[in-house]
Amino acid sequence: MNNTRISTQPYKGSRDFYPEDLRLRDYIFGIWREVCKSYGYEEYDGPFLESFELYAAKSGEELVNEQLYSFTDRGERKIAIRPEMTPTLARMVAAKYKALNFPIRWFSIPNLWRYEKPQRGRLREFFQLNVDVMGIDEISADFEVMCLAIDIMKRAGAKEGMFELRINNRKLMDEFYNFLGLTIEQKIEFSKVLDKKAKISPEDFNKILEEKVLLSENQIKDVNNLLSQPNTLLEQMLSQKSNGAKEVKELLKKVKDANLENFIKFDPTIVRGLAYYTGIVFEQFDLNPQNTRAMFGGGRYNDLVKIFADASVPATGFGMGDVTFMDFLTAWKLLPQNQDELDYMITRWPETNPEKATIYENLASEIAIKLRAKGKKVLVWLDNFSKLDKQLKFAERKNASMAVIFGENEIKDKTVIIKNLRTSTQEILLLEDFLKN
Amino acid sequence: MNNTRISTQPYKGSRDFYPEDLRLRDYIFGIWREVCKSYGYEEYDGPFLESFELYAAKSGEELVNEQLYSFTDRGERKIAIRPEMTPTLARMVAAKYKALNFPIRWFSIPNLWRYEKPQRGRLREFFQLNVDVMGIDEISADFEVMCLAIDIMKRAGAKEGMFELRINNRKLMDEFYNFLGLTIEQKIEFSKVLDKKAKISPEDFNKILEEKVLLSENQIKDVNNLLSQPNTLLEQMLSQKSNGAKEVKELLKKVKDANLENFIKFDPTIVRGLAYYTGIVFEQFDLNPQNTRAMFGGGRYNDLVKIFADASVPATGFGMGDVTFMDFLTAWKLLPQNQDELDYMITRWPETNPEKATIYENLASEIAIKLRAKGKKVLVWLDNFSKLDKQLKFAERKNASMAVIFGENEIKDKTVIIKNLRTSTQEILLLEDFLKN
């Protein structure tokens, strides 16, 4: 081909949304919005570019050093493309926290960018539903966002056994590390290996516990026992008056009362990568045996607003990405066959005589205006030379319900032919009567 | 204050959309989507980042050299943040042009970035409705997108006299330049000064015609005469067998037939900045005497897909930005007072005894689940210590219609108090009956 031509491929890790793709995206966004609004959450949005320092503070090393798209603008400001929404949310809340009516329940569907190696479930550009409650330090708020997440899954057709939420608590883990007598350095290494646990072998896990966390053989045995028996760990930590354990227990009580025990489970191996979590954390897992993995997660982050303002704003929430969600729906065959519907296509009688052609054209647009005023979706054929057959085939491909046809005779009789493209039947109606309905 | 704190301001020229701002944005996007769909247009989207060369080719010098946000990614690719949508559209169409059913009618609402000095009607980040028809070289397609643009204005409440579309034709102007006997260099200078004409004085206009375009005194007089009498210019060019003039005349005939003469006018000073236009061009003007200016524009660009593929795809369309549109609606007082509605707020009886508090909590969430299942928007109060009065005040501020209240007595009687927050009246209903409705 011609080498001077520009590539038609989208930038690596990003997607083109053709109309058929956008309809699916819309379907997902529609479910997200509907469920959030049913819980009384209000939508917000922030800018696509933010100052670099917004992420440098709290987003965690991997995100900032390896994944962030950052650059210097023409005015020498260091800026970044948003890789997550929570820092923007915290900034916006800090800017107006005196005027806001807490608690606030907000959601957003930003597009985010991370410089990653594109792979299944992971692209450079993705959309992410962000759901947050700010101003409530009660476990009931953490529980509410989890219920909302489960309702989204159910609204999309997911059933028990297809997914589950696994919860843990950052405080509990810190208290557990203290109970084990770990130093700060050991805690950091322990958290890192825990975050990787699902992806590595038990042998490798133990090896890292020994060599990096510097645990003794007995400690490693104890740790493995407790991690595999979450309830024993919980009881043990409750006997140590652990605050984190108390919160987990309170949450599990709510889960039981709401009959959600098959959807929400305690799992002490859940830690979450982001640096700003302070309490309950959770991850949602796809239970498809071919595809067991974390789909999305969230948790409590009570100290984030403080980096912007002298205000204590307890907060909890989660982020749900469109790519993993779409993969989940595809794998479980839950995606709808949704084609865009078109109510009418108005054909144009082929006519080369300009004056006659104008008569057809004007009538077509007159009919279209009237149908659109009734809220119908109406497409008008725009040239005066295509055969009727070609026009009707096009209407079928565009999934139109009806075609409106008229030629010289129909104009004379003040009628139109209405062809039902689903049944291939047609009827002749007085134009006036047709437009009345 | 604390100097180490991070600024809460958004990046220069961008906006934070708090819930009340997002509702207005949603109102505008809603009108855009509704009108586009009523014409049978389908929504698409592309990536936020594109390769730099996509814009270097055809977007015009000012956009690329002064306004584009471009940078090099971690893989040494030169990329840019999209400053306009048309190159992405052309790329996407070129990538699939053999599989697409032409003509296609597509629209999109991308967020775009341009490095500009923020000012009224102009920000660095904005949203822009893009409406395009591809695959039809008929004037009827140009006319259709103009009708669609006018319908958007009308749907938003705009009336005759508030705005108008001014049309011209790139071919006509080129033929007019030939008629004047201009060289290529003179044509370029003429186009530039024409694009600025509305913003400079007649004296400055004439001075540039003399010094830069190098016209004689007589030519300048002729030019001014013709530009101020568009119909004379049109007749003159028709007598020269100008193709551009023929197209303008054909379009004006359709305008007349559709009774849109007060909305669409021929204006030979409209040229449009972008390099890729090839035929009809137009700009929409706000007629507010305090604010006469171009709000948005578009035109025909038949050769753009060719830079990607060996395909001839005639195309026409326009882009309408949210900032100027919002300014228009604000100036003409057309923005609605739209508050988000919330159907119910479920209060929580203050109770410190944990077991009793749980009973209230569980009943509240049971009621919420049932109301949400009916499609209601329901907010639940989440703590067990706030006074009822505080909860009701909050419900009013959130614009809830009803509050649901129950204490020990109501639970015993299996009733609930439903308080209408608009009228401040209340009634006691059996819980069962309340949930039935």
Considering the domain boundaries, does residue B158 fall inside one?
yes
Q: Are residues B315 and B353 in the same domain?
A: no
Q: Are residues B292 and B425 in the same domain?
A: no
How large is the ipTM?
A: 0.92
Whole-angstrom Cα distance, residue B354 to residue A344?
A: 61
Q: Are residues B41 and B66 in the same domain?
A: yes
How close B223 gets to chain A, by Cα (Å)? 33
A106 reaches B (C-beta below 8 A): yes
Q: What is the pLDDT of residue A310?
A: 84
Q: Do A40 and B308 touch (CB under 8 A)?
A: no
How close A38 gets to chain B, by Cα (Å)? 4
Q: What is the pLDDT of residue A237?
A: 95
First-to-last CA distance in chain A? 54
Considering the domain boundaries, does residue A10 fall inside one?
no
Q: What is the pLDDT of residue B4?
A: 67
How close A294 gets to chain B, by Cα (Å)? 25
Residues in chain A with CB shorter than 8 Å from the CB of B115 are 73-74
First-to-last CA distance in chain B? 54
Residue-wise pLDDT for A278-313, tens only, equals 999 999 999 988 777 788 999 999 988 888 888 889
Q: Are residues A302 and A352 in the same domain?
A: no
Q: Do B257 and A101 touch (CB under 8 A)?
A: no
- List, as ranges, residues 183-222 from A with C-beta within 8 Å of B: none
Q: What is the pLDDT of residue A4?
A: 67
Q: Are residues A62 and A183 in the same domain?
A: yes
SS3 A25: helix
CA angle, A215 then A218 then A219, to 5°: 40
Q: Are residues A374 and A318 in the same domain?
A: no
Determine how β-strand B280-286 pairs with β-strand B293-300: antiparallel
Whole-angstrom Cα distance, residue B268 to residue B274?
A: 17
How close B216 gets to chain A, by Cα (Å)? 42
Q: Are residues A279 and A322 in the same domain?
A: yes
> Is omega for the bond preceding B103 within 30 degrees of 0, making it cis?
yes
Which two tokens mark A70? 């950052």
Whole-angstrom Cα distance, residue A100 to residue A13?
A: 38
Q: Are residues B154 and B294 in the same domain?
A: yes
A77 reaches B (C-beta below 8 A): yes
Residues in chain B with CB shorter than 8 Å from the CB of A42 are 19, 22, 340
B355 reaches A (C-beta below 8 A): no
B39 reaches A (C-beta below 8 A): yes
Q: In CATH, what number is assigned to the domain containing residue B35?
A: 3.30.930.10
| CB distance A312 to A347 below 8 Å | no
- List, as ranges, residues 262-301 from A with C-beta within 8 Å of B: none
A254 reaches B (C-beta below 8 A): yes
Q: Do B372 and A57 touch (CB under 8 A)?
A: no
SS3 A424: coil
Whole-angstrom Cα distance, residue A55 to residue B209?
A: 52
Q: What is the DSSP letter of B395?
A: H
Q: Do A19 and B42 touch (CB under 8 A)?
A: yes
Q: Are residues A233 and A293 in the same domain?
A: yes
B1 reaches A (C-beta below 8 A): yes
Residue-wise pLDDT for A148-189, tens only, equals 999 999 999 999 999 999 999 999 999 999 999 999 999 989
Output the tens digit of pLDDT for each of chain B's 437 residues: 344 688 899 999 999 999 999 999 999 999 999 999 999 999 999 999 999 999 887 666 777 888 999 999 999 999 999 999 999 999 999 999 999 999 999 999 999 999 988 888 789 999 999 999 999 999 999 999 999 999 999 999 999 999 999 999 999 999 999 999 999 999 989 988 998 888 899 999 999 999 999 999 999 999 999 999 999 999 999 999 999 999 999 999 999 999 999 999 999 999 886 678 999 999 999 998 877 778 899 999 998 888 888 888 999 999 999 999 999 999 999 999 867 789 999 999 999 999 999 999 999 999 999 999 999 999 999 999 999 999 999 999 999 999 999 999 999 999 999 999 999 999 999 999 999 87
Segments forming the whole domain that contains residue A371: 342-436
Residues in chain B with CB shorter than 8 Å from the CB of A18 are 44, 92, 96
Determine how β-strand B378-380 pairs with β-strand B342-346: parallel
Question: pLDDT class for A2, splitting at 50, 70, 90?
Answer: very low
Which whole number is the average pLDDT over A229-234? 94
Look-up: residue for tokens 């643009």?
A: B149
Q: Are residues B319 and B350 in the same domain?
A: no
A51 reaches B (C-beta below 8 A): yes
Considering the domain boundaries, does residue A255 fall inside one?
yes
Which residue among B6, B10, B22 sits closest to A47, beta carbon to beta carbon?
A: B10
Q: Do A365 and B147 touch (CB under 8 A)?
A: yes
